[in-house]
Amino acid sequence: MHSLLPHSLILRNPPLYSPSLSAMSSSLTLPSISLKKIPSPSPSPSPRSQLFLPSNSLCFSASRDGVRSFGLKHSDRSRVFMSVSVGSQTVVDDALFSDYKPSSAFLFPGQGAQAVGMGKEAQNVPAAALLYKKANDILGFDLLDLCINGPKEKLDSTVISQPAIYVTSLAAVELLRTRDGGQQIIDSVDVTCGLSLGEYTALAFAGAFSFEDGLKLVKLRGEAMQEAADAAKSAMVSVIGLDSDKVQQLCDAANLEVPEAEKVQIANYLCPGNYAVSGGIKGVEAVEAKAKSFKARMTVRLAVAGAFHTSFMEPAVSRLEAALAETEIRTPRIPVISNVDAQPHADPDTIKKILARQVTSPVQWETTVKTLLTKGLKKSYELGPGKVIAGIVKRMDKGAVIENIGA
């Protein structure tokens, strides 16, 4: 039935990310297909409800404990959407965002961006500080203390760094909100994405799941990836100064010299001249040994638990699938670009499948950024620790406008 449906199925009131509320959902079960045109609304929301109309409409959200949720406030365009309900299940066209036109983007960092001291500034903003308090309850340890005081070795571990970056990145959104014009910036964002782990942060920002549910997923993801890394010795190395074709040739040459279980592949297409290779220890060592002969400028062994974004992470997939199956995921209110295929997805079931595949699939970050810039992105913001993403964007377009918002 899905293949017969027109494109642009309606998003049915997906909640916005709000650190003060558990995500709410509403869905009206219809016995048949319904077609409706949605004009721009007049601002008259209930104080306890949320209204979302897709594609540059108004968003209103509940407020409690002094913490507001995200919203959009631009453009008076209206569009026609379709929704189909079969029984109690709503079918959403996954291609809903395929014609997105980005102007302002939020970009969220991935593992490796963590640094001792992050989160300190966030404690001056009640809404940001509240995120860490909620995280402590969910994680069962004092995340803020580890963020601010370390030790670095513990903060760098996969099981700690992933939730730490997720929480700190969303805390940065709350810091931005308190700035003059900050709420207007948040309202203007019409696309978001994140590097590997950062995709979960982007989905939370876009209202696909609650802050709490996202953190539970990130916690499990870190634990599952660490367990997969412990099961087989593996590593990652950045190759600097070669294009992607040359790096692939380097991998092919290294793979001729190692057993099948030690082979390597490109795991992260970061930006021109910077690609991460993952695989067995012997395979990574072969890449390091051969890099100079391929005219690479240098190689840098990455301080990660293992060969992320390759089949070495396959043991983590089933745990992620099980957790995702139990998590309520809704259509994002704005496009969230996937690391797996550099495309936005609207169907919750598709988003779940892609998140499960993400840990074993190469990260298509170069294509993601290139597409955003080609489509006319005017300004972007990197929210969270570090400035890795800003460096990547500037490397791809020196004239690109990007601002760092730390916490």
Task: Say which of 8, 55, 57, 309 is annotated catalytic.
Answer: 309
Indicate left, alpha or beta for 201 from its phi (over 0: left) and psi (-120 to 50: alpha): alpha
Beta-carbon neighbour count of residue 295 at 10 Å? 10
Q: Which of 196, 234, 338, 361 is catalytic?
A: 196
Does 57 qualify as catalytic in the annotation? no
User: Do residues 290 and 253 lie in contact, with contact meaning Cβ atoms separated by under 8 Å?
Assistant: yes
Residue with token string 């060969």: 307
Q: Are 221 and 162 in contact (CB under 8 A)?
A: yes
- Looking at the DSSP bridge assignments, the partners of residue 265 are 278
Q: Could you tell me where the DSSP H helices lie in 179-276? A: 182-188, 198-205, 211-231, 244-255
Q: Where are the beta strands (DSSP E) in 92-151?
A: 104-108
- Which pair of structure tokens corresponds to residue 83? 């929704």
Rounded CA Rg of the chain? 21
Closest CA to 172 of 389, 386, 407: 407
Is 20 part of the annotated catalytic residue set? no
**Which of these, 27, 150, 142, lies nearest to 90 by C-alpha position?**
27
Q: Minimal CA–CA distance to 50: which of 38, 75, 68?
A: 68
Active site residues: 196, 309
